[in-house]
Amino acid sequence: MSWIDWLETRLGFLAIPRLIQMIAILNGLVYMLHVFQPGYISLLTLQPALVMQGQLWRLVSYIFIPQIVFQNQSPTVQVVFLFFYLWFMVWIGDALEQAWGPFRLTLYYVLGMIGVTIAAFFLGTGSDTTFFLNVSLFYAFATLFPNMQIYVLLLIPLRVKWVALISLFPILLALLFGPLVTKAAILISLLNYFLFFGPLAFSQARARSSVQKRRIKFAAKSMPSEEPLHHCTVCKRTELDGPELEFRVSRDGQEYCLEHLPK
């Protein structure tokens, strides 16, 4: 039994069905409030200093802020982007909930929130957006459904695994060449993905290594032996000493070459 199964047997009642769908709806409502009252967003962002002053709702409220509100785009572009963003979020949420069940998806998202919060509090990364939460959801989706096809920009058909690898490229660059704080923030913010898929990847690697060892061992046993099959009792020569040699078994049960075969 994995640690996730152990938690589910004891805390399964904490599962939130259709969690991602509800978050998507609240993202849409927050955007509408932002349109009419732009300053409203500042009350929801994750700001550790304000949390320490008692504004504890910020530990949760930041997940309801759509990323588009932080970008300088025209209202029309924002609405179009928001529509596809929410639709994609609901689609991924449905797929993950069907594959995992409500408890595992809830646990995965909460662990992601914990990672983002730790990065914000202890590394000062300003992780007051849902970027890494959305990335971790997408990577979980790509890991479970790597060959599912989506249309990038509604025109380009690509398998999910290739889209995930392309989106992973800037993150890998930051991990390789970014400052230590950035590297730590990325790893901590993706804590949920590592906890869920790390043990699986490790066990699969061990299984592949075990299979490879068994194949090598089987191949070694299947190779022709260098030990001779025939040998002469008198001269001790074998078929390896010359392909022209012939051997016979005498009435005494011993094997001889034709030269030393008893009359």
Please tell me the distance from the alpha carbon of residue 13 to that of residue 181, in angstroms, as a whole number. 37
Please tell me the distance from the alpha carbon of residue 56 to that of residue 63, in angstroms, as a whole number. 14
Per-residue pLDDT tens over the stretch 15-28: 999 999 999 999 99
Is there a domain that residue 216 lies in? Answer: no
For 153, the enclosing helix (H) or strand (E) is none
Residue from 133, 128, 66, 62 nearest 96 by CA: 133
Is there a domain that residue 41 lies in? Answer: yes
Q: Are residues 70 and 101 in the same domain?
A: yes
- 153/38: higher pLDDT: 38
Is there a domain that residue 113 lies in? Answer: yes
Coil, helix or strand for 103? helix
pLDDT of residue 220: 61
Is there a domain that residue 213 lies in? Answer: no
pTM: 0.73
Task: Count Cβ atoms within 10 A of the Cβ of residue 256 and give its class: 0-12 exposed, 13-18 middle, 19 or more buried.
Answer: buried
Is there a domain that residue 32 lies in? Answer: yes
CATH of the domain at 30: 1.20.1540
pLDDT of residue 93: 92
Q: Are residues 91 and 172 in the same domain?
A: yes
Is there a domain that residue 189 lies in? Answer: yes
Is residue 64 scored above 60 in pLDDT? yes
- pLDDT bin (cut points 50, 70, 90) of residue 221 is low
Provide the domain count of the chain: 2
Is residue 37 scored above 60 in pLDDT? yes
Per-residue pLDDT tens over the stretch 77-102: 888 888 888 988 899 999 999 999 99
101 Ramachandran zone, left/alpha/beta (phi>0; psi -120 to 50) = left
Q: Are residues 135 and 263 in the same domain?
A: no
Q: Are residues 197 and 228 in the same domain?
A: no
Per-residue pLDDT tens over the stretch 223-246: 455 667 777 887 878 877 777 778
Domain that holds residue 86: 3-204
